[in-house]
């Protein structure tokens, strides 16, 4: 028996929060009933899910540009 239910992962949550007002409204409403530490973890994961692809693209761009110089 688990103490807490297994959370569902949305790997596009950061982008979805930025660009979808409906999703943002739903998440903000859900956060009102959750403890602060859960919100902090979700915000951190959302930021990471938005930054990770940008970092990967930046590194690939750096490698491609440095090979051509």
In the chain, pLDDT over 70 holds for what percent of residues? 91
**Domain presence at residue 4:** no
**Domain presence at residue 58:** yes
Number of domains in the chain: 1
What digits encode the pLDDT tens for the residues 9-39?
677 778 888 899 999 999 999 989 989 988 8
**Domain presence at residue 33:** yes
**Domain presence at residue 8:** no
Decide if pLDDT at 1 tops 70.
no
b/e map of 14-50 (b: 16 or more CB within 10 Å)? bebbeeeeebeeebeeeeeeeeeeeeeebeebbeebb
CA distance 60 to 22: 33
- Which residues, at least 6 apart from 14, have a Cβ–Cβ distance to it below 8 Å? 45, 46, 47, 48, 49, 50, 51
**Domain presence at residue 59:** yes
């Amino acid at each position: 028996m688990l103490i807490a239910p297994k959370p569902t992962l949305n790997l596009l949550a950061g982008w979805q929060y930025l660009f979808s007002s409906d999703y943002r409204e739903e998440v903000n409403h859900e956060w009102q009933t959750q403890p602060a530490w859960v919100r902090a973890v979700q915000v951190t994961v959302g930021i990471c899910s938005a930054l990770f692809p940008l970092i990967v693209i930046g590194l690939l761009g750096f490698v491609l540009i440095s090979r051509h110089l």
